[in-house]
Structure 1
């Protein structure tokens, strides 16, 4: 192309008149210099332009394909998944196989379980949920260190399986913490827990805590409870979060709890004691305080008296939600060979557990009635 232009310009010079040759030659020279500059500027950039055009083609191809989230580094992708709320994390599991594997990761759902259900769910709840599933695991691998780790020593939620074995794969999926969380959130799983002041704070259950099976109502953010009672079930709805706790002991509600704290009880200690109306009913846990014996002399004018109630074989338990003259106000139990005591009129008292944690005591005080009960 350049050769053609130079030849053409040379031909024009031959046609120019002599008087115009000097001026025309100068103009032609300037034109050639400009042309030379343009050519020299462009030539070194030809390779770059070809490379850039190739890059543009690749970019256009990428734009056609669209950006893919799974192309992110694992660390960045895991960081995104950790910040997703449970519902969005569950939805991500339906995107592709990789997202399903990452979205069902144990540590992600363990965090969500701890944040929302940690105060209500324990190992017994998880084991009961596993028993309620249709698939029974044959092998297990325990992940240590999590808040559900005590139950993992018996039932592992992550199962070793062969990828070619569909049955083992379904078994592993069935026992994932994600499915456990979804069963709780949907209300399909009735988990064991205890309810304070059952039946909407009925006066007959003031400062008590009874075992029940609970189902979560996510639309109202409340619970429905089922209480076993003499072969029938009592239903209570609209239970708030603050009225629920995980079972305090592993003792079933119809079994006497073995008391291990009796030798250490002294006046002022906070306790829970089993009580039931008759032997056909399950026990409930009732809040009380260790009191002084009548022979203690605490009301004397001698401020230097030495209380020896903690050395006596008899322990006084006081239930201060009842008035001083009520038959439910005080009861005495023996430190040694303690067993169920009572009668059909006053009910039956069972095992005792001492409250040592301040949050447990504060919980009971939160429900203390404003007026005493007769």
Structure 2
């Protein structure tokens, strides 16, 4: 009996030794849930004090690819109008016009500058033709108005500078406001010299000043029109308009062909998975998409009291095969291991 037990023990040890020594490799795998996200999504939203944000989110790489802020003056009547063809469920293409932002103050300022430009051109024609009349009162009013513009723009620029220091507005927006302030200061200098020229009656210098003022008005109009052109919002991606139920979110466009899947994997077995390992994602219709691990988030997440890492993959899919935010089942293939490690892998799950 003792001899029989010894033989059985030896047989078991030999089997275990063979298991360890034999070059047999087995592929591990797990069944898990994955969260489906559009590879990219473009969001238009509104904030406090007339701020309008546009954000291009890159879910595949995990960062905001583009982020812009447009701010309007207090008291400005701002309207956001969608293109009438842009509705939930509609497909759009990159560079399609999505909507328009209308600023009453900018439109009014452009109209005022155009009026001043025409007045300056008329004044130039009068002086060139030799029909000089008394322009002193007009030039005094122009000077007062120019000084008032500098005063108001200085206050606004100071507020913009604080926002820029807090990184709440873009470099372009900050530089536009700074350029506008400098132009207003130039207008004051031109108005002062023009008034002095009118008072002194030096016709040649007066004509030069009027020409300078005309150029200044044209530059200011150009700056404002460039700003207004930025108020035409175009989509940076191909995608579909999706419904939004948040009052501060004006529009969302999702990429409908390229997707990102986030797959939680227990931390204790995460070393069993490597970049390039195969993933099979099952759609709700039963169709399967095959892709590969392209990233592993090294930030630990706590789910149900257990520690997890997030595996990422990206893939293309047929239209309507997956929905943004959908949770679907998937199978993730792990690394090849020997039989002992294969058994350990499944015991740790």
**TM-score interval, normalised by the smaller of the two chains:** under 0.3
Q: Normalised by the size of structure 1, how large is the TM-score? A: 0.17
Which has the bigger relative contact order, CA under 8 A and spacing at least 6? 2
Larger C-alpha radius of gyration, 1 or 2?
Answer: 1
Q: Normalised by the size of structure 2, how large is the TM-score? A: 0.18
